[in-house]
């Protein structure tokens, strides 16, 4: 299995509070991604990174920000959590176009916003 960890694995927070989720990889892959998974929607890309300090928006980026100060860490921040952000969040990594951007996923973080 690819070396990807996510923390925390579960979190319950209140509406309006900031929340930061962490993704850590030991594979030295260039690309990192944050997804959310919701029933009926499949996985949707929130933000991605193509290198240290290089990030861009995905399909559902509103209300989220990211940072990547080191190759191995990619942080997802909910500036002011809302109930619509209750979801399961997955981090993924991929090496490069050379391997077809094959993606490997972390175990997920279940976030509940009350």
**Is 24:7 a contact under the CB 8 Å cutoff?**
yes
According to CB under 8 A, which one of 31, 34, 64, 74 is a site residue for other proteins? 31
Q: How distant, in Å, are the alpha carbons of 5, 57, 60, 67 from that of 85?
A: 21, 16, 11, 19
Q: Which stretch binds other proteins (CB under 8 A): 11-19, 63-71, 74-82, 99-107?
A: 99-107
Q: Does 50 bind other proteins (CB under 8 A)?
A: yes
Q: Does 76 bind other proteins (CB under 8 A)?
A: no
Q: Spell out the residues 6+ positions from residue 88 whose beta carbon is closer than 8 angstroms to its own.
A: 36, 37, 38, 108, 109, 110, 111
Work out how close the CB of 64 gets to other proteins at its nearest, in angstroms, rounded to a whole number. 15
Residue 102: is the preceding peptide bond cis (ω within 30°)? no
Q: Does 65 bind other proteins (CB under 8 A)?
A: no
Residues that bind other proteins (CB under 8 A): 1, 4, 31, 33, 40-45, 48, 50, 56, 58, 90, 92, 94, 97, 100-108
């Amino acid at each position: 299995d690819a070396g990807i960890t996510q923390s925390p694995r579960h979190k319950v927070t209140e509406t309006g509070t900031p929340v930061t989720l962490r993704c850590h990889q030991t594979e030295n892959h260039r690309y990192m991604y944050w997804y959310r998974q919701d029933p009926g929607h499949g996985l949707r890309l929130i933000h991605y990174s193509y290198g240290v300090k290089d990030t861009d928006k995905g399909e559902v980026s509103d209300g989220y920000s990211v940072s990547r100060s080191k190759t191995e860490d990619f942080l997802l921040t909910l500036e002011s959590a809302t109930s619509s952000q209750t979801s399961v969040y997955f981090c993924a990594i991929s090496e490069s176009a050379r391997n077809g951007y094959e993606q490997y996923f972390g175990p997920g973080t279940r976030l509940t916003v009350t």
